Structure 1
Amino acid sequence: MDFFEKTGPMAIGSRLRMLTDIITKDASAIYALYGIDFKPKWFPVFYVLADEQPKSVTVIAKEIGQSHPSVSTIVKEMMAKGLLAEVDNKMDRRCSLIGLSSEGKKVAQELIVLLRDVDRAIRQVADESRHDLWAAIAEWERLLAQKSILSRVEDVKSEREQSEVEIVSFREEYSEAFFRLNKEWIERYWELEEHDIEVLENPDGIIEDGGYIFVALYDGQAVGVCSLSRMDPSTGYDFELAKLAVDPKIQRKHIGLRLCEAALEKARELGAENIFLESNTRLKPAIALYRKLGFKELPEFHPAYARGDIQMELKLN
């Protein structure tokens, strides 16, 4: 089986390079066939100057879609070959203009017949083909300009890894992870408070009080936790979304979002109406996540933790 049949579209870069090599090899031979000493890579620069309007390297690079250093190198090669020459820029002497030399204009005339013949030959290939390659290339360029292959691979990778994350209910075996993950993120910015230790050392207490703890598993390991803690009815809230912690080594899997969504789904199942949370504005990704979920900042603030500087609520109905 052909290599590209085995790999499929994922080897598009290699296949395009191979096609480019075939075309470039033929192009060099075609110039030789017509007795013209010319390199294929010079053609874009030569073409935009063929109207005999001098241009700066910057303008040429922009017109042909190549980098300034690349065009600068090509211009130097063509000047050394005698095809291009600097032109006096009376409008701005700080900016050099490049134009065709007398030799370059002579070559331009010689290329007219060659280009007509090449155009006819290329059209023959297009007519024999079942697909419009030129239109397809333009479409791919447009699509990749909107979203690169790198970005698309990042999204596919993230989707796959998210599918490998499992959200489960708390079991005793996850007690160590519940303590460790929360301790790690708190001590990254602050110190553990007495109330932290009370809750983290006794996760069963959350469940015994009518709450729930959710654990994110990735590759069989607990990498994230979140609690839905029952609140006193006198507060006006049914539950507090709390103790959200995710292993910082696990990136781009939206584990925090998955945990929060699981907790809020459980709250809805139980008929809860109002959810409360307390956090710190220093935790910008977390605050952005809560806002994405619909939490609104409370105008009055009564912190339960020294590090708390924002309290939020979510109305489920």
Structure 2
Amino acid sequence: MNLYQSLGYLVLGSRLRRMSETFLSEINRIYQNEGIDFDASWFPVFYLLSKNDSLSIKELSGQTEVSHPAASQLITNLKNRKLVETTVSADDGRRQMVQFTDKGRDLLKQILPIWDAISAGMNELEASDSKIAGILPAISALENSFRAYNLSGKVGDKLKTIPHEKL
């Protein structure tokens, strides 16, 4: 058992971040090996736009559960690469609508088979170890619990009842 495993929940965030970074690095290596200029961080926007002709930055922010500034920054990056464009909403002049450019649609066509292959590869990995099969439901349960459970408040309450010395 390594240090991270021995510390349990005290390093849960660090372990999840490390796992995420490792996974995203592998995914980016797949795109690179295929000669495709695509970054895994773009996936949520590409996926949502692949299912919708156009979405507002607010809709993208809400569906990806990131802040509006973070979504706006990602869209700006994709605009600079000429993969998406924005237009003013016909219904509300304050809303910026995001859609693929021709270059973005061409890139989408290149990456769709990679998404299928990634899903198939992960399904194989999951089938190879029964413990892995529970990871996605466990992550969903943890996300849902965190939304409802005020961890900082609960820990603060516990600290009030436990005598401890101040440093």
How far did residue 98 of structure 1 move?
0.8
**Structure with the greater relative contact order (CA < 8 A, sep ≥ 6): 1 or 2?**
2
Q: Secondary structure at the residue paired with 1:50?
A: helix
Q: Report the residue type matching 1:139 in the other structure.
A: A
Q: Secondary structure at the residue paired with 2:93?
A: coil
Which of the numbers 131, 140, 143 marks the counterpart of 2:142? Answer: 140
Q: Distance in 2 between matches of 1:63 and 1:105?
A: 21
Which residue number in structure 2 is paired with residue 153 of structure 1?
155
Residues 155-174 of structure 1 mapped to structure 2, 5 A cutoff: 155-161=157-163
Q: Secondary structure at the residue paired with 2:147?
A: helix
Q: Secondary structure at the residue paired with 1:104?
A: helix
How far did residue 118 of structure 1 move?
0.2
Which residue number in structure 1 is paired with residue 60 of structure 2?
60
Which residue number in structure 2 is paired with residue 119 of structure 1?
119
Q: Secondary structure at the residue paired with 1:99?
A: strand
Q: Secondary structure at the residue paired with 2:112?
A: helix
C-alpha RMSD of matched pairs (Å): 1.7
| Conserved? CA contact 1:54–1:87, under 8 Å | no
Q: Distance in 1 between matches of 2:15 and 2:45?
A: 26
Residues 196-235 of structure 1 mapped to structure 2, 5 A cutoff: none
Q: Report the residue type matching 1:61 in the other structure.
A: S
Residues 1-317 of structure 1 mapped to structure 2, 5 A cutoff: 1-131=1-131, 132-161=134-163
**What is the CA deviation profile of residues 14-72 of structure 1, one whole-angstrom value per residue up to 9, with x for unaligned ones?**
11111011011111101112221011111111111112421111111001111101011
Q: Report the residue type matching 2:142 in the other structure.
A: W
- Structure 1 runs of 4+ aligned residues shifted over 6 Å read none
How far did residue 82 of structure 1 move?
1.0
**What is the CA deviation profile of residues 215-256 of structure 1, one whole-angstrom value per residue up to 9, with x for unaligned ones?**
xxxx8xxxxxxxxxxxxxxxxxxxxxxxxxxxxxxxxxxxxx
State the TM-score, normalized to the length of structure 1.
Answer: 0.49
Closer, same or farther: CA 144–94 of 1 in aligned 2, 3 Å: closer
Q: Which has the higher strand share?
A: 1
List runs of 5+ in structure 2 lacking aligned partners.
Answer: none
Aligned residues: 163
State the TM-score, normalized to the length of structure 2.
Answer: 0.89
Which residue number in structure 2 is paired with residue 214 of structure 1?
none
How far did residue 123 of structure 1 move?
0.9
Q: Distance in 1 between matches of 2:79 and 2:119?
A: 27
Q: Report the residue type matching 1:78 in the other structure.
A: L
| Conserved? CA contact 1:52–1:100, under 8 Å | no
| Conserved? CA contact 1:84–1:99, under 8 Å | yes
Which residue number in structure 2 is paired with residue 270 of structure 1?
none
Q: Report the residue type matching 1:160 in the other structure.
A: I
Q: Report the residue type matching 1:59 in the other structure.
A: E
Identity of aligned residues (%): 21
Q: Which has the larger radius of gyration?
A: 1
Closer, same or farther: CA 87–154 of 1 in aligned 2, 3 Å: same
Q: Which has the higher helix share?
A: 2
| Conserved? CA contact 2:88–2:94, under 8 Å | no
Q: Distance in 1 between matches of 2:19 and 2:6?
A: 18
